[in-house]
């Protein structure tokens, strides 16, 4: 989080950190998912997450390769 990767740069010298919900949406997570931990812990978890659509595409590709 120290590199500013969880921030929005408005281009005019102002910045804002993502909320947990904004970061979750960027990772393709359902809005119903709740984060019971702190903002920092949640952003660490989200930073290590793989978006669902990417996982689905990768799994489909592996399945095709194994079926061939």
pLDDT in tens, 22-65: 999 988 888 998 899 999 899 888 888 888 889 999 999 999 99
Residue 49 and residue 37 in contact, taking contact as beta carbons nearer than 8 Å: no
- Reported residue count of the chain is 68
Residue 39 and residue 22 in contact, taking contact as beta carbons nearer than 8 Å: no
- 39 by DSSP, 3-state: which? helix
Helix (H) or strand (E) holding 66: helix 52-67
pTM: 0.70
d(CA 34, CA 63): 31
């Amino acid at each position: 989080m120290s590199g500013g990767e969880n921030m929005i740069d408005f281009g005019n010298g102002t910045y804002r950190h993502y909320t947990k919900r904004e970061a979750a949406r960027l990772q393709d997570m359902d809005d119903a998912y709740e984060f019971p931990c702190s903002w920092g812990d949640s952003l660490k978890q989200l930073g290590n997450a793989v978006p669902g659509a990417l996982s689905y595409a990768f799994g489909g590709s592996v399945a095709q390769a194994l079926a061939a």
